Structure 1
Amino acid sequence: MTTKTGMTRRGILLGTGAVLAATGLAGRATELWAAEPLKVAGIYTVPVEQQWVSRIHKAAEAAKAEGRVDYTFTENVANTDYPRVMREYAEQGYKLIVGEIFGVEQEAREVAADYPDVAFLLGSSFLQDDALPNLSVFDNYIQDASYLSGIIAGSMAKGNIGMVGGFPIPEVNRLMNAFMAGAKEVNPDISFQVSFIGSWFDPPKAKETAFAMIENGADLLYAERFGVSDAAMEKGILAIGNVIDTQADYPDTVVASAIWHFEPTFEKAVAEVMAGTFTAANYGVYSFMKEGGCSLAPLGTFEGKVPASALELVAAKEAAIKDGSFVVTVDDSEPKSS
């Protein structure tokens, strides 16, 4: 991105940093930038209670409660309206805009190019573009926790697991594939039914899809979407959650969940914007377990009900993931029924 003077924005930032360091004012500059809460806007295509988006919203709200950011948001934004809402927030002086652009990739990047002084942190299926230094991407790379939840599922299922997802895109596929790998770790003969409902938020459709899987022999369900756990509860079988912990709502149904913690991603972006060093990067790495970006939810009501051998394996694999001696494969290919 080049200014009218021919200098790149990144060059300006780096040059300013050098001057500050040379004059000993770097620390003071950070204090000044931190004096006012950072203006942050969230743009979401679904309600903020939807699993995935709720984690972004939760992290931003926590920072707002601490007085570090001035956060507002717009939910249920249609893809056709997304670029317009991006422009409106940019024009209003927001310095960091977060959201998800899976259905509006090209248009969103064009908007970002028009506002080089605004930082954009956007969920995307694609990587960052170094030619667009003010746009960073992220995704919920929580395959580590998904793998561990699969181990628990494999130890609790009788032989067939039903898996209901939104769309067969990388951010869904990698979690399903990791889950399936974990289940096979303890039960190599286990089989899967896999289906996608073509929506990010359609609990009735997800529930009906899950019912069909149960009719077809599924004895445990993987609830990538809302509605699946409702079907499991009504039919008296177990379920594994995804992204958020819903056990409080399904105490006799949801055994475990792979939890996404967006805080490391959000805090990194806020810090970079405040320091004037935000640039194009892949923030997906901050969702990894070793970065604190994901975890396995507490067993809660299922404490003492999961086989000890499975829990021992979970503990060993978790330790290995954190120390780097074991790496869960990131497999973005579409999972298939078996």
Structure 2
Amino acid sequence: MHARRQLIVRSIALAAALAAGAPGLALAQAKLKVAGVYTSPFEQQWVSRLHKALKAAEARGEIEYKATENVTNADFERVMREYATGGNQLIIGDVFGVEAAARKVAKDFPKTSFLVGSSGKPQAPNLSVFDNYIQEPAYLSGMVAGSMSKSNKIGMVGGFPIPEVNRLMNAFMAGAKETNPKVEFTVSFINSWFDPPKAKEAAFAMIDKGADVLYAERFGVSDAAKEKGKFAIGNVINTQAQYPDTVIASALWNFEPSADRAIKLVKEGKFAAEDYGPYSMMKHKGSELAPLGTFEKKVPADIVAKVKAKEADIVAGKFTVKVDDGQPKSSK
């Protein structure tokens, strides 16, 4: 009887201890393990946006976040597998160029959720794709650029002619044509995601041919514009603080709506293969035109008003920026 009573007392004590520990236990379970696998450095435009959104979730205490930058294509699969084997529940990657490897890993880890940059389709049951669908602010930045060119010549330097880049360039060109039908474009690609010296050289060549506004899809272009006293339009991030007399406007990409949605769904056990592209659009606050800042008084007032009206129409769904993934060409 005494032994039985001791057992009951012990059981009650254990239950109380577990109950007391339960909130901590729930909290530990709630902190999702998230990993980032990036082929470029954290400072590169695209990667910086993914990193920023995930660091914000980490700062809020929602996730435990680890990331590896500068992963070579040859190492991508290995690094991704290590994170999956290490118990990370959500793995995010900028997988362009290593698409097949990422899809293979996702297939081998069906219980892990994957969210990867891709112009391909989602892969059931656990691989979702995202994209910087920021063609709307790219169009608006084009409207500003067209109005600021005196020579009617705009130079455009891109990384690779892939859909993600092409659609932004095409939208920008359409916006520039709206405010300046005479504008002509010189387009070139450096075939690298991060080679500022190469981008700078390409921009110098365009300036030599008369371009007075440059579309800086890559790092290095704004440096060339600054050195030659020309203007630049930014992409994905806002670098006006570094180039106050050069960068007029930028089309900003905010990865937070996509990252926060994925984190929430994984926590709820509802993550599925879907296309996150639309969450980069303006109505979801996934993109925006950066404030004109130092150029507020330098851009013509009528153009500022036109841009604001167009922005309102885009958000209200009255104006749709065409998604054109074809490779942009220089004007003939």
For normalisation by structure 2, the TM-score amounts to 0.91
The CA distance in 2 between the partners of 1:105 and 1:70, in whole Å, is 25
Superposed CA RMSD: 1.3
The CA distance in 2 between the partners of 1:292 and 1:143, in whole Å, is 13
Q: Deviations 1:146-194 (Å, cap 9, x if unpaired)?
A: 0000000011012000000000000000000000000000111100000
Structure 1 residue 106, shift from structure 2 partner: 1.4
1:152 counterpart = 2:144: yes
Q: Secondary structure at the match of 2:318?
A: coil
Gaps of 5+ in 2: 1-24
The CA distance in 2 between the partners of 1:109 and 1:51, in whole Å, is 24
Radius of gyration: which is bigger? Answer: 2
Q: 1:274 aligns to what?
A: 267
Q: 1:104 aligns to what?
A: 98
Does the Cα contact within 8 Å between 2:36 and 2:92 map onto a contact in 1?
Answer: yes
Q: Deviations 1:6-63 (Å, cap 9, x if unpaired)?
A: xxxxxxxxxxxxxxxxxxxxxxxxx948853110000000001001110000000001
The CA distance in 2 between the partners of 1:176 and 1:292, in whole Å, is 21
Q: Secondary structure at the match of 1:245?
A: coil
Q: Deviations 1:116-166 (Å, cap 9, x if unpaired)?
A: 11000000121213xx21000001000001000000001101200000000
**Structure 2 residue aligned with 1:204, among 197, 201, 216?**
197
Q: Deviations 1:63-96 (Å, cap 9, x if unpaired)?
A: 1011101001000001111111110000000000
Matching of residues 114-263 of structure 1 within 5 Å: 114-129=108-123, 132-158=124-150, 159-263=152-256
Q: Secondary structure at the match of 2:242?
A: coil
Q: Deviations 1:192-221 (Å, cap 9, x if unpaired)?
A: 000000100000000000000000111110
Structure 1 residue 104, shift from structure 2 partner: 1.2
Q: 1:67 aligns to what?
A: 61
The CA distance in 2 between the partners of 1:101 and 1:125, in whole Å, is 10
Q: Deviations 1:98-121 (Å, cap 9, x if unpaired)?
A: 011110111211110000110000
Q: Secondary structure at the match of 1:218?
A: coil
Q: Secondary structure at the match of 1:80?
A: helix
Does the Cα contact within 8 Å between 2:39 and 2:69 map onto a contact in 1?
Answer: yes
Q: Secondary structure at the match of 2:154?
A: strand
Q: 2:41 aligns to what?
A: 47
Q: Deviations 1:265-321 (Å, cap 9, x if unpaired)?
A: 000000110010000000011000011000011111111110111111111111111
The CA distance in 2 between the partners of 1:247 and 1:38, in whole Å, is 35
Q: 1:14 aligns to what?
A: none
The CA distance in 2 between the partners of 1:79 and 1:33, in whole Å, is 36
The CA distance in 2 between the partners of 1:332 and 1:135, in whole Å, is 23
The CA distance in 1 between the partners of 2:45 and 2:104, in whole Å, is 28
Does the Cα contact within 8 Å between 2:30 and 2:267 map onto a contact in 1?
Answer: no
Q: 1:13 aligns to what?
A: none
1:36 counterpart = 2:13: no
Q: 2:87 aligns to what?
A: 93
The CA distance in 1 between the partners of 2:302 and 2:185, in whole Å, is 22
1:322 counterpart = 2:318: no
The CA distance in 1 between the partners of 2:44 and 2:170, in whole Å, is 22
Matching of residues 277-292 of structure 1 within 5 Å: 277-292=270-285
Q: 2:77 aligns to what?
A: 83
Q: Secondary structure at the match of 1:133?
A: coil
The CA distance in 1 between the partners of 2:36 and 2:298, in whole Å, is 40
Q: Find runs of 4+ consecutive structure 1 residues off by over 3 angstroms.
A: 31-35
Q: How many residues align?
A: 307
Gaps of 5+ in 1: 1-30
**Structure 2 residue aligned with 1:308, among 292, 296, 301?**
301
The CA distance in 2 between the partners of 1:284 and 1:301, in whole Å, is 31
The CA distance in 2 between the partners of 1:133 and 1:288, in whole Å, is 25
